[in-house]
Amino acid sequence: MSVPVLIIAAWWGISQTEITGLFVPAPHEAVLRFWDEFIVGDAIVAHTFPSLFRALCGLGLAIVIGIAVGVVLGTSTILTGLFQPLVHLGRSLPSPALLGVFFFLFGVGDAPKVFLIAFAVVWPILLNTIDGVGAVGETRSQAAQVFRIPAHRVLASIVLPGASPKIFAGIRTSMSYALIMMIISELQRSENGLGYMLVQAQRNFDFSTFFAVLIMLVIIGVIFNVIFKTIEHRVLAWHIGVTANDD
C-alpha cells in the first residue's frame, strides 16, 4: 500500500505548484470528474465498452493466430528455419507507425483498430508458443509415435499442456500491449473510445477528464490482471503443483 500512497501524495504535490498545477488537477478533482463521467455519466457505455470490445477482439484474434501458427512452426524445425526471418521482421516493425497503413487497407471503423491491435500483440504469443512447443522435446513425440497415439491426442494431451506455461506468459505480455494499442488506435479517425476521450480532453484543455480516463485505464488494467491470474491459476494448476513438488 505504500507505493500507491506515495504516488497519490506526489500527484497532489505536483498539482499544487503554480506551473504544473495548470495541467495536473488535484487527485480529488480527477476522482470527481471520473465519478461524473464514468459512474453518473454515459462514458462507460459510450466510450469504455467500445474500447474494450476492440481490445478483446484484437487480443482474441492474436491468441488464436499466435497459438495456431506457433504450434505449426514449433513442431517443424524446417518451417521454423524458413519463417523465422519473417517472424522477426514482423516483430521489429513499429506497430503505432502502421496505424495509417491499417486505415488505408481496412477503411474506418473498428476493423483497422482490431487488426492493428492483433498485429501488435501477436508476437509475444507466437514466439512463446514456438519456444514452448519446441521445449516439449522430441523424446515425448517419439514416445507417442511408439505407442501409436493419434496426432490430435498428442497435440491436446502432450504438446499444448507442455507449452501452456510459456503460452500464458506470452498472453500476459500481450494483454498489456493490447491496452496500449487500444488507446493508440483510437487517437485518429475515431468517434468513441477512451483514446478518443483523451484526444478531446487534450484539445479542450480539460485535464480533469484526461486524468479521469487514466484512472479508468488503471482500473481496467487491474481487473484484466485479476481475471487473467484466476484463469491462469486454474488452467496451470497441474504445473504449479509440479513446480511446488520439485522445490
Q: Is there a domain that residue 204 lies in?
A: yes
Q: Is there a domain that residue 55 lies in?
A: yes
pLDDT in tens, the chain (247 residues): 677 788 888 888 888 886 776 788 888 899 999 999 999 989 999 999 999 999 999 999 999 999 999 988 888 778 888 888 888 888 888 888 888 889 888 888 899 999 999 999 999 999 999 988 887 766 566 666 666 666 667 777 777 888 889 999 999 999 999 999 999 999 888 899 999 999 999 999 899 999 999 999 999 999 999 999 999 888 887 666 555 445 5
pLDDT number for residue 34: 94
C-alpha cell at 5: 500512497
Q: Is there a domain that residue 40 lies in?
A: no
C-alpha cell at 149: 497415439
pLDDT number for residue 147: 60
Q: Is there a domain that residue 182 lies in?
A: yes
pLDDT number for residue 239: 63
Q: Structural domain of residue 72, as residue ranges?
A: 45-237
Q: Is there a domain that residue 27 lies in?
A: no
pTM for the model? 0.87
Q: Is there a domain that residue 242 lies in?
A: no
C-alpha cell at 151: 496426432
Q: Is there a domain that residue 207 lies in?
A: yes
pLDDT number for residue 244: 45
Task: Identify the CA nearest to 46 among candidates 212, 192, 219.
Answer: 192
Q: Is there a domain that residue 2 lies in?
A: no
pLDDT number for residue 118: 96
* C-alpha 23 chain-centroid distance: 29
**Whole-angstrom distance, CA of residue 74 vs CA of residue 128:** 10
Q: How big is the chain, counted in residues?
A: 247
Cβ distance 127 to 91 under 8 Å? yes
Residue whose C-alpha cell is 519473417: 86
**Whole-angstrom distance, CA of residue 84 vs CA of residue 77:** 10
Domain count, the chain: 1
Instruction: Write the DSSP string, the chain.
Output: -HHHHHHHHHHHHHHTSTTGGGTS--HHHHHHHHIIIIIISSHIIIIIHHHHHHHHHHHHHHHHHHHHHHHHHHT-HHHHHHHHHHHHHHHHS-GGGGHHHHHHHH-SSHHHHHHHHHHHHHHHHHHHHHHHHHHH-HHHHHHHHHTT--HHHHIIIIIHHHHHHHHHHHHHHHHHHHHHHHHHHTSSS-SSSHHHHHHHHHHTT-HHHHHHHHHHHHHHHHHHHHHHHHHHHHHTHHHHHHHHHH-
In this structure, what CATH number is given to the domain that contains residue 211?
Answer: 1.10.3720.10
